[in-house]
Amino acid sequence: MITIFHHNRCTKSRSALAALENSGKAFEVVYYLETPPNKSELKEMISKLGIKPLELIRKGEKVFTENYKSKNLSDEEWIDVMIAHPILIERPIIISGNKAVIARSTEKINEILG
């Protein structure tokens, strides 16, 4: 099953959702601001993406620039920050099996859709 972590107010996220709808493949939509991933789900997502937690953070968000921009936190602490402020999680994220991508481009979406 394909899962998209989606934010309806984000243009890139809406584009990724449209691509999934047009693919004809079954998928699930998780509105991650309303139903944020828990710590273990977030760790699993980061592992599937093959990145460090800090790379999943939206650094242009006000909550980041005002509270965390100059902080040097551990991976575990960055995960806790995303749990506390899900708006900081980069979007959209599409997961299928053991693969995950930050689907901000058509190429990335196609990595999942094949």
Q: In this predicted model, what pLDDT tens digit does every residue of 11-30 receive, in sequence order?
A: 999 999 999 999 999 999 99
CATH code reported for the domain at 2-113: 3.40.30.10
Spans of all domains in the chain:
2-113
Helix (H, G, I), strand (E, B) or coil at 2: strand
Residue 114 has pLDDT above 90, yes or no: no
Residue 113 confidence (pLDDT) = 87
In this predicted structure, the answer to whether residue 78 has a pLDDT above a threshold of 90 is: yes
> What's the angle, vertex CA 81, arms to CA 42 and CA 88, rounded to 5?
75
Number of other CB atoms surrounding residue 91 within 10 Å: 22
Average predicted confidence (pLDDT) for the chain: 96
| Residues assigned a catalytic role | 10
Tell me what the mean pLDDT of segment 86-104 comes to. Answer: 96
* Inter-residue contact 37 to 62 (CB < 8 Å): no
Please check the confidence at residue 53 and state whether its pLDDT lies above 90.
yes
